[in-house]
Amino acid sequence: MELSFWDRLPKIKGFAERLQNILKFSRVDDNLLDELEMEFIQSDLGLELTNEIISEIRKRKITNTPELRDFLFNYLKAILENLDYRLDLLEDRLNVVVFIGVNGTGKTSTVGKFAYYLKGLGYSPIIAAADTFRAAAIDQVKIWGERVGVEVIAQKEGADPGAVVFNAIEAARARNKNVLLVDTAGRMHTKSNLIEELKKINRVVERTLGYGPSENLIVIDATLGQNVIRQVETFHNAVNLTGAVLTKLDGTAKGGVIFNVVRRFNIPVKLVTIGEGVEDLKVFDPNEFIESFIPEVKV
C-alpha cells in the first residue's frame, strides 16, 4: 500500500503511531487522557484546543477507545470543514498571488515551486521580485525563475516594491501571462512600516487591475509550531489573508498548528512544501491530512 503524503513525514507519522498505541487500550481512563493530552500539546495542537478536546471527552463520558477515536476524528475534521481550500485562480483575467511572511519561512522558494506547479497545470506565470530591501533577495528569486523557466520582473535594490509590482502587471499584460506571483520582503510582523508596504502592494494591484489580489498567502515555517499564531494575526489584520502555506514539513513540524491557524483565523491552508526540490509542493487536502493525523487503529 502506497503511503500518503502525510504518512511520509516523520514527525506526523510518529505522532499518529503513538496515538494508535494509546487508542489500543480498551478503556478510557485518567491515565489515557493524560497521555492523550501530552501528545496533543507536543503535536502543536496548542493548550487551548487540547484542553477543549479533553474537557469534551469527559463531558461526553466516552469510555471506550473506538468511540474515542471516532470522536477525535470528527471533532478535528469539523475544524477543517466548511472552508474553500481551492486556489482562487480565474481563467479569464490576470491573477495576482502575493506571498507574505517573516524572514526564513521559505517564501522565495515557495514562489519558485508554485510557479513550476502552475506551469504543469497549463498556466502561464510570471514573478515580481518585490523584495527590494536586499540585493541577495532579488538574486535568489532570479535563480528560482531560471530554475523553473519563469520570467522574473525586478528592479535594483532599494526600489519601491509597489513600482515593481506595477511594472510586473504591465509586463504580464504585454506577455499574455495569467498569473503574477509577488515575492515580498521577509517582514518582521512588529515592523509597522513594512506592514504598510504590504498594504500598498495590495492597493497598487487594485488600482491597476480594478480588483485586488486573487490570493494573499502567508508562508509559515511549520517547525515553529504555536509561535506562528501572532504572525498570522498581525498580517491578517493588515491585508486580509486568503490562505496559508506551510513549509518545512519534512523537518521537526508535527502538523497540529494547522488546526489552530484554520480555527482561529478562518483561513484555509492552501499549499504545503516538504523540501528544496521544484516538485516539493502540493495543494493541501484536508481529508488526506486528518486521515493521517487521526488514523484508524490497527489491532
CA-to-CA distance for 205 and 220, rounded, in angstroms?
23
CA-to-CA distance for 276 and 104, rounded, in angstroms?
13
CA-to-CA distance for 148 and 138, rounded, in angstroms?
16
**CA-wise closest residue to 257 among 54, 42, 37, 45:** 45
Q: Which residues of 190-211 are buried (b: 16+ CB within 10 A; e: fewer)?
A: eeeebbebbeebbebbeebbee
DSSP 82: T
Q: Which residues are annotated as a binding site?
A: 101-108, 183-187, 247-250
Q: Which residue has the cell 531560471?
A: 146
Please enumerate, as own/partner, the contacts of 62-68 that have beta carbons within 8 Å and a separation of 24 or more: 62/28, 63/27, 63/28, 64/26, 64/27, 64/28, 65/23, 65/24, 65/25, 65/26, 65/27, 65/28, 65/32, 65/297, 66/297, 67/28, 68/23, 68/28
- Other beta carbons less than 10 A from residue 56's beta carbon: 13
**Helix boundaries (H) for 181-282:** 192-209, 229-239, 257-265
Q: Which residues are annotated as a binding site for GTP?
A: 101-108, 183-187, 247-250
3-state secondary structure of 96: strand
